Amino acid sequence: MQQWDVIVVGAGAAGLMCAIEAGNRGRKVLLLDNGKRPGRKILMSGGGRCNFTNIYSSPENFLSQNKHFCKSALSRYTQWDFIALVQKHAIPFHEKTLGQLFCGDSAKDIVEMLLTEAKAANVQIAMQQQITTVSFADGVYTVTTPELSRQCQSLVIASGGLSLPNLGATAFGFQLAEQFGLKVLPLRAALVPLTWQPSDKAVFEEISGVSLPVTAEANGTLFPEDMLFTHRGLSGPAILQISSYWQPGDNVIVNMSPDTNVAEFLASQQQAHPEQEVKTALAKLLPKRLVEKLLELKVFTNQPLKALNPKSIKQLADSLHGYIFKPNGTEGYRTAEVTIGGVDTDGLSSKTMEAKQQPGLYFIGEVVDVTGWLGGYNFQWAWASGWVAGQYC
């Protein structure tokens, strides 16, 4: 029977950060993971460049049934704190659109940085550990794997959500929460492509690969970014973002020309080129292959611009500024970047991440009902929640 002060389950972003901070306090820390190597999601994120935080990160960029829960952690360990750590290790990075920070070279740099910090904090890491049981008695947790049992005073669950099962995602953290009496809110895939209805698929799959800047809206929330047509449905940053707010049966309203007023554009084209066909004019605004599909769907009738009256121009403009897609569903956890829902924050302390009714048990990162937007926000929640728990566990 091994004795530890702290056992952290999950060697991802949150688990590594928590283990480092606990180790820096002089705690004897063991980090367990079911995979072959730590930081698997870090390594594949951002196309292998790791979008490790966002300079605009704030509580408004997160979804949770308790919108206030994330404020404490995010204010105590900010994006600037993590950027300082990256700079300390001389890792090159750059800003892409909308405040997203990426490694200049490789996501491996972030994992190496965390492992270097963990080693300096005397954190022990054990990979390929399949936990069979966890029990609690007399203030001590016993964590059992087929090889041996380990005991600790503080047990931190950083096992992530259900997204990307090929990276080893399991329901372990949610099951453990329920074992110890914590409520787990309904789970669903988020930051995920949306799939076609059969009728739309028959039309749009032929233009797979076409992308354009749009705004995508669902349930009163709107995101401006690119949308991508795929064989299976709609993807791209705008769609991934809106997927977190979309519910089965909802429409997604897409403005295909967010930067140009279509009615004004067509009116000016009508003045300048009255003989020009509608589809020729629209192809100056939208990808030509998309215009052909919209014609096929009878969104507009192809005729000379001079044949249009103000009412028909307005109708066409309205249909492009508010095109309605009714997705069939999502691509699910297989391609989802995150899981929405999870351990109910009402059962946790926002100051420490400890379970209110179960002393010494902590939940951090994606397993908790806090989900960020696309663009480095989920990593910032991992760093912040991990850092906070590391101060107390």
pLDDT band at 165 (very low <50, low <70, confident <90, very high): confident
User: Could you give the CA distance from residue 299 to residue 304 in angstroms, rounded to a whole number?
Assistant: 16
In the CATH hierarchy, which fold is given to the domain comprising 194-330? Elongation Factor Tu (Ef-tu); domain 3 (2.40.30)
Model pTM score:
0.95
Nearest Cα residue to 101 out of 83, 114, 89: 83
pLDDT band at 168 (very low <50, low <70, confident <90, very high): confident
Mean pLDDT of 147-168: 94
The CATH superfamily assigned to 2-188+339-391 is FAD/NAD(P)-binding domain (3.50.50.60)
- The pLDDT mean for the chain works out to 97
pLDDT band at 334 (very low <50, low <70, confident <90, very high): very high
User: Could you give the CA distance from residue 384 to residue 227 in angstroms, rounded to a whole number?
Assistant: 30
Q: What is the pLDDT of residue 358?
A: 98
Q: Which residue has the tokens 């990593």?
A: 379
Going from N- to C-terminal start, the domains of the chain cover 2-188+339-391, 194-330
User: Could you give the CA distance from residue 215 to residue 164 in angstroms, rounded to a whole number?
Assistant: 27
User: Could you give the CA distance from residue 234 to residue 219 in angstroms, rounded to a whole number?
Assistant: 18
Above 90 in pLDDT, residue 315?
yes
**What share of the chain in percent tops pLDDT 90?**
97
Report the sign of the C-alpha dihedral through residues 41, 45, 49, 52, in that order: negative
pLDDT band at 167 (very low <50, low <70, confident <90, very high): confident
Mean pLDDT of 304-330: 96
Q: Which residue has the tokens 């283990």?
A: 19
In this predicted model, what pLDDT tens digit does every residue of 79-115 receive, in sequence order?
Answer: 999 999 999 999 999 999 899 999 999 999 999 999 9
Q: Return the number of other C-beta atoms located less than 10 Å from residue 58's C-beta.
A: 15
Contacts of 297 (CB under 8 A, 6+ apart): 203
Above 90 in pLDDT, residue 303?
yes
**Contact by Cβ (8 Å): 132, 73:** no
In this predicted model, what pLDDT tens digit does every residue of 184-236 receive, in sequence order?
Answer: 999 999 999 999 999 999 999 999 999 999 999 999 999 999 999 999 999 99
The CA–CA distances, whole Å, from 176 to 13, 33, 135, 146, 359 equal 20, 15, 10, 18, 14
Above 90 in pLDDT, residue 38?
yes
User: Could you give the CA distance from residue 124 to residue 131 in angstroms, rounded to a whole number?
Assistant: 17
Inter-helix orientation angle 108-120/79-88, to 10°: 80
Please report, in angstroms and rounded to a whole number, the separation of the first and last CA atoms in the chain: 21
User: Could you give the CA distance from residue 201 to residue 46 in angstroms, rounded to a whole number?
Assistant: 28
User: Could you give the CA distance from residue 22 to residue 29 in angstroms, rounded to a whole number?
Assistant: 7
